Chain A
Amino acid sequence: MKINNDIIEQHGLKLDEYESIKKLLKRNPNLLELGIFSAMWNEHCSYKSSKIHLKKLPTIGEQVIQGPGENAGVIDIGDEDAIIFKIESHNHPSYIEPYQGAATGVGGILRDVFTMGARPIALLNSIHFGSPSHPKTKSLLNGVVSGIGGYGNCIGIPTVAGETKFNETYNENILVNAMAVGHAKKNKIFYSKAKGVNKAVVYVGSKTGRDGIHGASMASAEFDENSEEKKPTVQVGDPFTEKLLLEACLELMRDSSIIAIQDMGAAGLTSSSVEMASKGSLGIELELDKVPCREEKMTPYEMMLSESQERMLIILEDGKEEHAREIFKKWDLDFVVIGKTTSSQKLVLKYHNKIEAEIPLDALSSKAPLYNRKWSKKRLSKNKIEIKKLKKIKLEDALIKVLSSPNHSNKSWITDQYDQMVMCDTVNRSGSDAAIIRIHNKDKAIAVSVDSSANYCKSHPLTGGKQIVCENWRNLIAVGAKPLAITNCMNFGNPENQEIMGEFAECLIGIKEACEFLNYPVVSGNVSFYNGTNKKNIFPTPVIGGVGLINNLKKYQTHNFKMETSNIILIGKSFGHLEQSCFLKEVYSIIEGRPPEINLTNEKNNGECVLSLINKNLVLSAHDISSGGLITALSEMCIGSSIGIKVEKPKKLTNINEYFFGEDQGRYILEIEQKNLSEVEKIIKKNNIYYENVGITQKDYFEIKGEMKIDVNDLFKINNHWYNNY
């Protein structure tokens, strides 16, 4: 077949990129080679628009064993234990085919984690849908939730935390981000870098089919009205096979048979073989006749570009072949030596004894295009919202609106569809600020949380970037964990648009500044561009997944009130920031103004003080204040426990809604037993932290003196009815 401009375009390549390919090869590529270039050079695999920005992120620290660049990030949690984790997007396939898209998103991220030698111990997700009234939203929500559950429940790894948000910006392009967290022994971590010439390259797992061909290219383009036709590019997941693959890999990893291992994710056999060989500065030669195929007469092109799931590529030490084969046979999985490492620094593909492709590896990796795209800065909004001029609403009515809104409603309709308890190490399930997972057979645990704030990021990307890192950090602190490191999933629109590229660049600067200040490095992540349909881009939505350590399981904390007559204190200053707040959105449908300011010094001091109080066993419950402000956070603490609270209004109050619904940052609510109050106040003052006494817990009623009094059971009902009636 002669390669013409149409074919080049169908492969998602620009004409000047095609010219570069010819220069690198010193000849015209054939179709197979073009397909391989397209798979490796697309945005999803090459990070060509994002790389120069990502390099600025802090990625090292004494807690970091492996930063970005491997299948997942690795951190040290003391003793001989390491935690391996990563978040990844599966937005485009999930919009086209929600069940399989979401399921394979979970499957893919799990493989990234167990490829490195970890047993996965927790799954999280961040899912974003369009407006609930959009005709597609309901079926997308249903499909995505059952897909996430379908995969995680079957493979037997608990889905412990997540966030589900609705915003019309996702009407035509939903977001499905999945995060996996695994545990490994520090001295038993496996990497993807090939070593040594003439080593066996082994294909294990499922057979290769015609599904998901060009999936990575699809994820590197905007949608249009014909997107439904892309269904064949969506992969089909089989969690049962993945369970077998997981157990077989972990069994083989017990000894020293493996030199390098890599899962076949985006761009399947192509990216796995290219990455392993490039990292080791070696060459790789594959005999495609040996690739186990699910369908008849598959061509080399299809084999190399298929994104069939549940497959791995392993480079074995000499003499370990039979031993490894036995293990995979036991688990009824394919195990075929399909090639070898070479010293040629080339990818060579043979089929029917003929060389079908021969590409220098650097052309696919280090010499892939790299763009420094134009980007523009976003200024802080100057629109002032005159809160006093808005139509008056009673505090109680506003609270009901917020608590019954889709974004703030109780999510048990979703979480009940996920097995949160399998593996029997889930200490704290969904609903709190962060989930807590015990390290098996030990008295320590990790805390995990995922967070995003698209409205803040849209309004001012720099502040928004900082804010999500801080909120994530706060969520871990609130359960008594020391935050260690994050993974990030950057969901953005079209990077060729200067404004969108600016959103990306500035969100990253915000993330970088907050991570540096808080010693909270980024150890893994993923970039998803081209989220949008017909030139309409989504709001910038970076998602942060954080992991923290609870060294002593006797000292973790939850957010529900524990007893009556305890003192409730508010850590951090309230300025009454209502712009971009959930209050304005839910009550007045106003999404305007600036996001709340981030003061990193206060953030750090407040957080460290809260953590020290929890560690001293002086706190009965703790909750961070985020979307919805103080009153929403207090309601959640009541709802979780059926205990009420009596709140005294502060004496100098300018506007009651500003005080109770303001979304000022760096704030926590702590429940303190009366007898400990003076000691707690002493510590807080010594640390120069601003705090207020808010009220006292009581039986049955959430009461704000002179303003409102609601039965906690009614609050529960208000918070619980939306999903069940949707």
Chain B
Amino acid sequence: MKSSVIVFPGSNCDRDVAVALKKMQFNNQMVWHKETSLPKSDLIVIPGGFSYGDYLRSGAIAGKSLIIDEVIKAANSGCFVLGICNGFQILTETGLLRGTLLRNESLKFINKDINIKVINNKTKFSSKYKLNQVLKLNIAHNEGNYFTDKNHLDELKNENLIAFKYCDKNGNISVKSNPNGALENIAGIYNSKKNILGMMPHPERMVDSIISNTDGVNIFSSLMV
């Protein structure tokens, strides 16, 4: 499978996700933000980091960059798109995903290992996970507090578009297991066609047992099925 990782000025998880993709046998290319065309890709990854220094609003400037038009075109024609952390924020800025990421409730940057629950395992991104499986991933963000309006929240629920919810290690979803104040503990969502996934936790940080664990592997390897 072919993948492209978009590199913005200020992206800083681009190498990490490229390493993970390579490990999962993707044929990956890095794509600079000033490019005006995308190489043929089955998967486009928008990595984490601080694109354009988070100036204006995290993800806002990247959402208007040259390459993003191509990403939108590809996404609309069915290409798989994965936005991680700042990538998720960028996807909400482009409108490819709805809702927004607010400042963490604690008003502090948070980096720690957290647990999330697989809410839908019938997508191309999650088919190798079990339903309700509890994963341990790592978060690192200032703005991860997902918010959306009631209509959209109903839509997310009715169409099974919530990908992951923050939980404790036993799978309980509660205020206590919510690290950033996200609406209904939402950690990741799909678009209605389920070819776009945005998530705050970093799956690429959990693909190597020497560093952490391998709970993030299936996000990438499910796509290979």
Q: Which residues of A contact B (CB under 8 A)?
A: 146, 149-150, 153-156, 238-241, 243-244, 330-332, 412, 415-427, 438, 553
In the bound complex, do residue A438 and residue B109 qualify as a contact, i.e. CB atoms below 8 Å apart?
Answer: no
Cα distance, A424 to B23, chains bound together (Å): 13
* Least Cβ–Cβ distance between A482 and chain B, in angstroms: 19
Given contacts A417-B109, A420-B111, contact A240 B205 (CB under 8 A): no
Q: Do A421 and B210 form a contact, CB below 8 Å, given A146-B108, A240-B10, A416-B111?
A: no
- In the assembled complex, the CB of A426 is this many whole angstroms from the nearest CB of chain B, namely 7
| B76 interfacial contact with A, CB 8 Å | no
* Interface residue from B49, B50, B205 paired with A424 (Cβ < 8 Å): B205
> Can you list 17 A-B pairs with a CB-CB distance of less than 8 A?
A154-B50, A156-B49, A239-B50, A239-B53, A243-B10, A243-B50, A330-B34, A412-B112, A417-B108, A417-B110, A420-B111, A421-B205, A422-B16, A424-B16, A424-B19, A427-B210, A438-B210
Point out the residue from A412, A415, A553 that lies within 8 Å of B210, measured CB to CB.
Answer: A553
Which of A156, A238, A330, A421 lies in contact with B111, CB distance below 8 A?
A: A421
Give chain A nearest CB distance to B42 CB in angstroms: 23
Q: Tell me, rounded to whole Å, the shortest Cβ–Cβ distance linking B119 to chain A.
A: 24
Q: Does A149 lie within 8 Å of B140, measured CB to CB?
A: no
User: Cα distance A423–B212 when bound, in Å?
Assistant: 13
A361–B205 Cα distance when bound, in Å, is 50
Q: Is the CB of A156 within 8 A of B12?
A: yes
A418 to B141, CA, bound (A): 10
Residues of A within 8 A of B208 (CB): 424
Q: In the complex, are the beta carbons of A427 and B111 less than 8 A apart?
A: no
Which of B52, B55, B140, B208: most chain A Cβ within 10 A? B140
CA distance A156 to B48 in the complex (A): 10
B200 within 8 A of A: no
Shortest Cβ distance from A247 into chain B, in angstroms?
A: 8
B126 at the interface (CB under 8 A from A): no
Distance (Å) between the CB of A144 and the closest chain B CB?
13
Give bound CA distance, A418 to B140, whole Å. Answer: 8
B109 touches A153 (CB 8 A): yes
Which single member of B9, B13, B20 contacts A240 (CB below 8 Å)?
B9
Given A150-B109, A244-B10, output 4 extra A-B contacts at Cβ < 8 Å.
A238-B53, A240-B55, A421-B202, A421-B205
* Distance of A318 Cα from B159 Cα, bound (Å): 63
State which of A417, A418, A423 has its C-beta within 8 Å of the C-beta of B16.
Answer: A423
Chain A residues lying within 8 Å of B52, measured Cβ to Cβ, are 240
**Given A153-B140, A425-B211, A240 and B53 contact (CB-CB distance below 8 Å):** yes
B9 touching A421, Cβ below 8 Å:
no
B53 touches A422 (CB 8 A): no
Check if A154 sits within 8 Å of B10, measured CB to CB. Answer: yes
Closest beta carbon of chain A to B142's beta carbon, Å: 8
Q: Which residues of A contact B16 (CB under 8 A)?
A: 422-424
- B93 interface contact, C-beta 8 A: no
Q: CB within 8 A of A243: which of B9, B140, B202?
A: B9
Q: Kindly list chain B residues whose C-beta atoms are within 8 Å of the C-beta of A241.
A: 53
Q: Which residues of A contact B50 (CB under 8 A)?
A: 153-154, 156, 239-240, 243
Are the CB atoms of A424 and B109 closer together than 8 Å? Answer: no
Given known A153-B140, A438-B211, contact A423–B15 (CB-CB < 8 A): yes
Closest A residue to B107 by beta carbon equals A146
Contact of A426 with B109 in the complex, beta carbons under 8 Å = no
Chain B residues lying within 8 Å of A240, measured Cβ to Cβ, are 9-10, 50, 52-55
A220 CB to closest chain B CB, in angstroms? 32
- On chain B, the residues within 8 Å of A423 by CB distance are 15-16
Bound: A425/B54 CA distance, A: 24
Contact A427 B9 (CB under 8 A): no
**A423 vs B19: C-alpha distance in the bound complex, in angstroms?**
10
Interface membership of chain B positions 13-53, coded 1 if the CB is closer than 8 angstroms to chain A and 0 otherwise:
10110011000000000000010000000000000111011
Chain A residues within 8 Å of B142, by CB? 153
Looking across the interface, which residue of chain B has its beta carbon closest to that of A426? Answer: B211
Cα(A553)–Cα(B209), bound, Å: 12
| With A153-B109, A417-B108: A424-B53 Cβ-Cβ less than 8 Å | no
Q: Interface centre among B49, B55, B110, B111, by most A CB within 10 Å?
A: B111
Is the C-beta of B138 less than 8 angstroms from some C-beta in chain A?
yes
Cβ of B204 under 8 Å from chain A: yes
B138 touches which of A243, A330, A417, A421 (Cβ 8 Å): A421
Contact residues in B for A156 (Cβ distance below 8 Å): 12-13, 49-50
Q: Which residues of A contact B15 (CB under 8 A)?
A: 423
Q: Give CA–CA (A154, B54) in the complex, Å.
A: 9
B9 touches A331 (CB 8 A): yes
Contact present for B140 and A419 (CB under 8 Å)? yes
A418 neighbours in B (Cβ, 8 Å): 109, 111
In the complex, chain B residues whose CB is within 8 Å of the CB of A330: 34
Q: Known: A154-B10, A155-B12, A239-B53. Is A427-B140 also a contact (CB below 8 A)?
A: no
**How close is A237's CB to chain B, nearest CB, in angstroms?**
11
> Which B residues are CB-close (under 8 A) to A153?
50, 109, 111, 140, 142
B109-A149 in contact (CB<8A)? yes
Interface membership of chain B positions 149-181, coded 1 if the CB is closer than 8 angstroms to chain A and 0 otherwise: 000000000000000000000000000000000
* Given A422-B140, A426-B211: A416 touches B112 (CB 8 Å cut-off): yes
- A417: which B residues are within 8 A, CB to CB? 108-111
Minimum CB–CB distance for A245 against chain B, Å: 11
What residues of A have a CB within 8 angstroms of the CB of B111 in the complex? Answer: 153, 415-421
How far does the alpha carbon of A586 sit from the alpha carbon of B49 in the complex, in Å? Answer: 42
A331 to B9 alpha-carbon distance, docked (Å): 7
Query: Do A424 and B204 touch (CB < 8 A)?
Result: yes
The interface bits of chain B over 99-113 (1 if a CB of A lies within 8 angstroms of the residue's CB, else 0) are 000000000111110
Contacts of A438 in B (CB 8 A): 210-211
Q: By the criterion CB–CB under 8 Å, are B110 and A243 in contact?
A: no
Cβ of A424 and Cβ of B211 under 8 Å apart? yes
In chain B between 171 and 211, which residues have their CB closer than 8 angstroms to a CB of chain A?
202, 204-205, 208, 210-211
Q: A604 CA to B143 CA in the complex, in Å?
A: 48
Nearest 7 pairs of A and B residues by beta carbon? A156-B12, A240-B53, A154-B50, A419-B140, A424-B16, A419-B111, A417-B109
Minimum Cβ distance to chain B for residue A207 (Å): 15
Give the distance to chain B from A713, nearest Cβ to Cβ, in Å: 15
**In whole Å, how far is A530's beta carbon from the nearest beta carbon of chain B?**
33
Chain B min CB distance to A169 (Å): 28
Chain A residue nearest in CB terms to B142? A153
Shortest C-beta distance, A427 to chain B (Å), equals 6
Complex formed: what's the CA distance from A419 to B112 in Å? 8
- Complexed CA–CA distance, A154 and B10 (Å): 7
Chain A residues whose CB sits within 8 angstroms of the CB of B34 once the complex forms: 330
**Given A146-B108, A149-B109, A240-B53, A421 and B140 contact (CB-CB distance below 8 Å):** yes
Contact A421–B212 (Cβ < 8 Å):
yes
Question: How far does the Cβ of B115 sit from chain A's closest Cβ, in whole Å?
Answer: 15
**What distance in Å separates the Cβ of A544 from its nearest Cβ neighbour in chain B?**
26
- Known interface pairs A423-B15, A424-B211, A438-B211; A244-B9 also in contact (CB < 8 Å): yes
The distance in angstroms between the C-alpha atoms of A156 and B10, with both chains bound, is 8
Q: Please, which residues of chain B bring their CB within 8 A of the CB of A553?
A: 210
Q: Name B207's closest neighbour in chain A (CB-CB).
A: A424
Bound-complex Cα distance A239 to B13 (A): 15
Flag B114-151 by CB within 8 Å of A: 1 or 0 each: 00000000000000000000000010101000000000
| Shortest CB distance B83–A (Å) | 17
Q: Mark B42-75, 1 if CB is under 8 A from A, else 0.
A: 0000001110111100000000000000000000
| Chain B residues whose C-beta falls within 8 Å of the C-beta of A243 in the assembled complex | 9-10, 12, 50
User: What residues of B have a CB within 8 angstroms of the CB of A238 in the complex?
Assistant: 53
**B54 / chain A contacts, CB cutoff of 8 Å:** 154, 240
